[in-house]
Chain A
Amino acid sequence: MTVVYWAAYGMLGVGAFLALVRLGIGPSLLDRVVATDTLLVIIAAGLAVHAGLERDPTVVPVLVVVSLLAFVGSVSVARYIGGMLVGSADDGQDVGLPEAAEERAARAAEASR
């Protein structure tokens, strides 16, 4: 049983840590939204694993709240930045913004190769 504890909480912890790293390094706001969403899901899974392994149903209502919170958070951020956009007739993307930083980095890598 101890092995199961270590394996379960270890995998959850590493997953949550990697999501936190992505939350920290970005690079865009939406990357952080996706990382926060995943982090909340991992927290919910951790609570459920705790409830299952300990046979302790007291944390189960917290699960409902956490899963609600993830949805409300990501949708409100998406709506908030969705309202600022101006669509371009050329490619369907926002006119005022530069291209994706990732795409620019990929192009630079292509050029240097």
Chain B
Amino acid sequence: MSVLEVARDVLAVALLLAGTFLCLTAGLGLLRFPDVLARMHAGTKPQVLGVLLVMVGAAIRLQGWSATWMLLLVAVFQMLTAPVSAHMVSRVAYRRRHVRRDRLLVDELRTGGGGAGDRVYKGDEPADAPPEEPATALAESREEDGRAENGRAEDGVR
């Protein structure tokens, strides 16, 4: 075994151990942090950096290009999907009041008392969800119904 191979194995094992250490810190943070946002902060450490370290370590150890490309695919996929799922989960966490507001320094989602009335959110609901402003939509549909009724009545008179 040449010096180069030994150095390569040492580097790979060090990267693997660093990645597994990040997994351990994620578990600790998940258990100890106070609310959903903080737990997400801890839980996403291994999602990007940990997975990257472990993938690079495994790619150094494994022989052959097919395994390397697949590991690269996993790493790229993690980096693409981690922000999307984190964004969705944190937004729902805020709206479902799972956020400790007394611990927030900046709260950009707070709308303030604008007097706009309660409304159903657009953006992350299924396509058959109720309309955005229930009261306005109800008034509009009643108005439309009334217009239809009047039209029919006028037709009857003529």
Give B9 Cβ to nearest chain A Cβ, in Å.
Answer: 9
Q: Which one of A42, A70, A90, A94 contacts B96 once the chains associate, using CB atoms below 8 Å?
A: A94
Residues of B within 8 A of A57 (CB): 62-64, 66-67
The 8 A CB mask of B51-86 against A (1 = contact, 0 = none) is 100110110111110110011011001100100110
Give A103 Cβ to nearest chain B Cβ, in Å.
Answer: 5
Residues of B within 8 A of A93 (CB): 94-97
Give B31 Cβ to nearest chain A Cβ, in Å.
Answer: 5
**B contacts, CB < 8 Å to A:** 12-13, 16-17, 19-21, 23-28, 30-31, 34-36, 39-40, 43-44, 46-47, 50-51, 54-55, 57-58, 60-64, 66-67, 70-71, 73-74, 77-78, 81, 84-85, 88-89, 91-102, 109-121, 123-126, 129
B95, A8: Cβ atoms closer than 8 Å: no
A83, B125: Cβ atoms closer than 8 Å: yes
Q: Which one of B23, B63, B95, B126 contacts A11 once the chains associate, using CB atoms below 8 Å?
A: B23
B54, A49: Cβ atoms closer than 8 Å: yes
The 6 closest A-B pairs by CB, nearest first: A18-B27, A52-B58, A15-B27, A83-B125, A82-B124, A78-B88
Given contacts A30-B36, A92-B111, contact A8 B30 (CB under 8 A): no
Residues of B within 8 A of A7 (CB): 17, 20
A18, B31: Cβ atoms closer than 8 Å: yes
Given contacts A8-B17, A103-B102, contact A85 B47 (CB under 8 A): no
B23, A15: Cβ atoms closer than 8 Å: yes
The 8 A CB mask of A80-113 against B (1 = contact, 0 = none) is 0111111111111111011110110011000000
B67, A15: Cβ atoms closer than 8 Å: no
B120, A92: Cβ atoms closer than 8 Å: no
Residues of B within 8 A of A14 (CB): 24, 27
